[in-house]
Amino acid sequence: MFFGRYEHTIDPKGRLAIPSRHRPSLAAGLVITRGFESCLLVYPVSTWEAIARKFDQLPTMSQDDVSNFERYLFAEAVDCTPDKQGRVLIPAHLLEYANLGDKAIVAGVRDHLEVWNPDAYLEKNALLEQDPKAVARGLSQYGIL
């Protein structure tokens, strides 16, 4: 399970160090793709493959939506293996998408990591912190809180 918030640097070559506590879970390989909130998503290969298999179950009647979403998620994705220092090379198109410079926040989110521009992450969290009870109430219907 991935959790925690970590502040890391991105070197001039575009390499980001994976937080040390999460390196064992990603040592066999990982996939980086675009997130839905101008962040990057980092999945272990096994989780990524499970997500990909779920697309086989989708109805063909909504093929435009499925195709568009597959393109959004898979076409920009890259697979990689961390180097001996636990770093991964993030391609320029993904750095640009997430507006990443030389600093990043890596956030553990249950089954994946998110890589954020620090300002965007803090802004997103500030919105949540305005009324966390409202979010909790929304999740109560699922028996989470």
Written as one string, the DSSP assignment of 1-65 is -EEEEEEEEB-TT-EEEPPGGGHHHHTT-EEEEE-SSS-EEEEEHHHHHHHHHHGGGS-GGGHHH
**Contact criterion met (CB below 8 Å) for 40 and 98:** yes
Asked whether residue 73 is assigned to any structural domain, the reply reads yes
| C-alpha span between 37 and 59 (Å, rounded) | 26
CATH number of the domain that 54 lies in? 3.40.1550.20
What's phi and psi for 6, nearest 5 deg? -135, 135
Asked whether residue 53 is assigned to any structural domain, the reply reads yes
Strand-pairing partners, residue 3, are 109
The SS3 assignment for 67 reads helix
Asked whether residue 99 is assigned to any structural domain, the reply reads yes
Domain that holds residue 63: 2-116
- Over residues 38-94, the pLDDT tens digits come to 999 999 999 999 999 998 888 766 678 888 888 899 999 999 999 999 999 999 999
Asked whether residue 25 is assigned to any structural domain, the reply reads yes
Count of structural domains within the chain: 1
Handedness of CA 95, 101, 106, 107 (dihedral sign): negative
Please compute the mean of the pLDDT values over residues 126-145 and round it to a whole number.
Answer: 81
**pTM passes above 0.85:** yes
Asked whether residue 21 is assigned to any structural domain, the reply reads yes
When the pLDDT of each residue in the chain is averaged and rounded to a whole number, the result is 92
Asked whether residue 122 is assigned to any structural domain, the reply reads no
